[in-house]
Amino acid sequence: MSERIEDNDRELVIKVQNGDLNAFSILVDKYKNKSLSLAVSIVKDTFLGEDIIQEVFIKVHSKIKNFRFKSKFSTWLYRIVVNTSYNELKKRKHTIPISIYEISEDVRPGSTNGKSLSIEEQKKYIKYGMMLLKEDEALILRLFYLCENSIKEIEDITNFNSSKIRVNLHRGRKNLKRKLISILGAEIDSLL
């Protein structure tokens, strides 16, 4: 299946390189949500993440003629997302703090009231828990689980070595579980 996706991306990229704007729209639609999630995990701000993704797809469109298929398109794209996000943080000279008050009331600790969680509620809690993780842990968890990248692809995207990636995957899972337990208590079983 992954090979078919890769072949489809290759065809779309070739079409974009030949000037097909519809093919570019298909690539944008296919990758915008995962790219946004990745950017937000780094900058911790949805509105800034949306601005970054617009900038990313402008960069992708202008540089796609130089794409030579040495990696998967998604690996190349996520590398641009990561670099652009970190560059934006450097411009701002600090990370954007997340306040508990910015989180919707229904995802704050103790708000489950013993009821089982819907899929949407589960997503909210996981998103909240991810925002509480260390930057590298959240980034690697998103790349591995959300974007479905291999360890090798994550190496290419982040320039981290494989042992750092494996350690952050392990710690990230453990820390996410710990944070979700502190938020949800017994409800954690319906989530994991």
Express each pLDDT in 85-133 by its tens digit: 999 988 876 544 544 434 454 554 455 555 667 778 877 888 888 888 8
- 3-state helix vs strand vs coil in the chain, percent to 5: 80, 0, 20
Torsion region of 5: left, alpha or beta (phi above 0 gives left; psi -120 to 50 gives alpha)? alpha
Express each pLDDT in 27-64 by its tens digit: 999 999 999 999 988 888 889 999 999 999 999 999 99
Helices 2-17 and 21-43, interaxial angle, to 10°? 120
Domain regions of the chain by residue span: 1-95, 106-192
Hey, how many other C-beta atoms are within 10 angstroms of the C-beta on 101?
Answer: 7
The yes-or-no verdict on residue 4 having pLDDT over 80 is no
Q: What is the CATH number of domain 1-95?
A: 1.10.1740.10
Give the HSE-up count for residue 71: Cα atoms under 13 Å, Cβ half-sphere.
Answer: 17
The predicted pLDDT at position 130 comes to 85
How many whole angstroms separate alpha carbon 39 and alpha carbon 157? 13
Give domain 106-192's CATH architecture.
Answer: Orthogonal Bundle (1.10)
The yes-or-no verdict on residue 184 having pLDDT over 60 is yes
pLDDT average, residue stretch 68-83: 94
